[in-house]
Amino acid sequence: MAELNLGKGLTAGKVASNVQKKLTRAQEKVLQKLGKADETKDVAFEEGVINFNKQYAEGSKLQRDLRAYLEAVKAMHESSKNVQACLADMYEPDWYGHNEVDSIVEDCDVLWTDYHQKLVDHALISMDTYLGQFPDIKARIAKRDRKLVDYDSARHNYATTHKTKKKDGGIKITKPSSLLERATPGWAQGILSAHNVAQSSLSRSQAEEELERAQKVFEEINIDLQEELPSLWNSRVGFYVSTFQSLAGFEEKFHKEISRLDQDLYDILVKLERTDTSRKTVNNAASSSGTNSSGKEVSDNTLRPGGPPPIPKSPSKLKPAVPPPPKVTPSKEMKTENIINLFDAAAAPDISVTSPTEASNWDSWGDSAAAAAETVEEVATDETPAVEPQPTEESSEHADMPPGFLFKVQVMHDYAANDTDELEMKAGDVVLVITFENPDEQDDGWLMGIQQEDWQQNKENPTKGVFPENFTQRL
């Protein structure tokens, strides 16, 4: 009777055989877990399998990261190409270095393409080749595990057969076990006994042959893997060295050549800027108009466009600002030298010898001189005591300020403190500037201050700190 063909080279007999093997292996695994069957252990091989799995995982991760790196290089190439093409489109033909710019754009594109291709040829392909051997070895390790279970099962079956032989001490038919044996005549009892002995011998022979066959298949796979796994584990060093040397070498060469092209492009743009006469004319006109419009220097605290000014960093070379002296009411008491100066000012008219028309003013000058002399006499003879200066609004305000107060400033830009000794400020805040306890600690461009609101609310223990002067404007 022909066997049923299931397609792809499978027959009903092979399917049944595979099912029987799986059942036998499952049964043997259960017996091993229950401790009723011995399990072959190989510590050295198990360590090799652990290293193999680790090496395979690391290689797979490296392959994924390398592919991602290549994708990033490709994306960067496209972005750089678009930027360079935009520059070439905007660069007008009559500008300096137009042909050189076109050549630089083409060379950059060639460098990116060559860099990507070298990475594919010398890194990605070798990486794929390196990882290509792992699936086959992994499949052979799984096959070795299955054959090891078959070998343990055959060894267990063989041991059970021999154990039964020793226990029985031979096959003796003393009691018939079936109606056929009972009905067998006496002269046929010997023939039946011989048949049973032959059957028992056949079972032991089959068990021994099965053991030898399973052992042979297992050892063939095991020996090959015992040699390949350590060799594969040691090969990772050389592979990693060659791979990353290639990556580093190609990247170094690429950046060196691309930096040379970038420097050439930078030099061309510098020369273009110098040859831009229209821009120079505009700049000169703007600078001249700015000089003529104002005769005063612009303060460092002036609000600048485009965001807050840079934070000063240089060491201090300036002394703390000194507050202006308080305003006082004028006193009638005058010193002698001031009186003489007043008299001299009144008695020294500015006369031009070449102006004859001013000679008629001598009479009026005499009257003025006499009036000035009378004024001097009244001041000199006045015995009224000097009047004490009355406190002004500014001096009273200073009295309500913290010790060492200098002046007030208004914050023009937000400033986030970068250290514990710095003052946090928001645009619009008013800060009371005070002197440093140790003047040597003051840096150039930095002031010590207290928030005015903080001082008004907490005069006993206000928070003080340093802040950049060019973030504020003096009030």
CATH superfamily of 400-474: SH3 Domains (2.30.30.40)
Averaged over 307-317, what is the pLDDT? 55
User: 300 pLDDT exceeds 50?
Assistant: no
Averaged over 185-208, what is the pLDDT? 58
Question: Which residue type does 59 have?
Answer: G
Long-range (24+ apart) CB contacts under 8 A made by 356-362 are none
Q: What is the rounded average pLDDT for all residues in the chain?
A: 73
Which positions ≥6 away from 329 have C-beta within 8 Å?
Answer: 387, 389, 390
Question: Residue 150 — pLDDT band, cuts 50, 70, 90?
Answer: confident
Q: What is the pLDDT of residue 443?
A: 85
Three-state SS across the chain? CCCCEEECCEEHHHHHHHHHHHHHHHHHHHHHHCCCCCCCCCHHHHHHHHHHHHHHHHHHHHHHHHHHHHHHHHHHHHHHHHHHHHHHHHCCCCCCCHHHHHHHHHHHHHHHHHHHHHHHHHHHHHHHHHHHCHHHHHHHHHHHHHHHHHHHHHHHHHHHHHHHHHHHCCCCCCCCCCHHHHHCCHHHHHHHHHHHHHHHHHHHHHHHHHHHHHHHHHHHHHHHHHHHHHHHHHHHHHHHHHHHHHHHHHHHHHHHHHHHHHHHHHHHHHHHHHCCHHHHHHHHHHHHHHHHHCCCCCCCCCCCCCCCCCCCCCCCCCCCCCCCCCCCCCCCCCCHHHHHHHHHHHHCCCCCCCCHHHHHHHHHHHHHHHHHHHHHHHHHHCCCCCCCCCCCHHHHHHHCCCCCEEEEEEECCCECCCCCCECCECCCCEEEEECCCCHHHCCCCEEEEEEHHHHHHCCCCCCEEEEEHHHEEEC
Residue 253 class from Cβ within 10 Å (0-12 exposed, 13-18 middle, 19+ buried)?
A: middle
User: 291 pLDDT exceeds 80?
Assistant: no
Reported as a single tens digit per residue, the pLDDT across 206-261 is 878 888 888 888 888 889 898 899 999 999 999 999 999 999 999 999 999 999 99
Q: Is 120 left (phi over 0), alpha (psi -120 to 50) or beta?
A: alpha
Long-range (24+ apart) CB contacts under 8 A made by 54-58 are 55/134, 55/232, 55/233, 55/236, 56/131, 56/134, 56/138, 58/236
CA atoms of 174 and 224, how far apart (whole Å): 53
User: 12 pLDDT exceeds 70?
Assistant: no
Question: Residue 279 — pLDDT band, cuts 50, 70, 90?
Answer: low
Q: What is the pLDDT of residue 457?
A: 87
Question: Which residue type does 229 have?
Answer: L
- Statement: 21-279 belongs to CATH 1.20.1270.60: yes
Reported as a single tens digit per residue, the pLDDT across 364-404 is 445 555 555 555 455 444 444 444 555 555 555 566 888 88
Among 27, 45, 471, CA closest to 230: 45
Q: Hey, which residues does 449 pair with through a beta bridge? A: 433, 465
Domain locations in the chain?
21-279, 336-351+361-381, 400-474
Largest CA distance in the chain: 188
Q: What is the pLDDT of residue 10?
A: 57
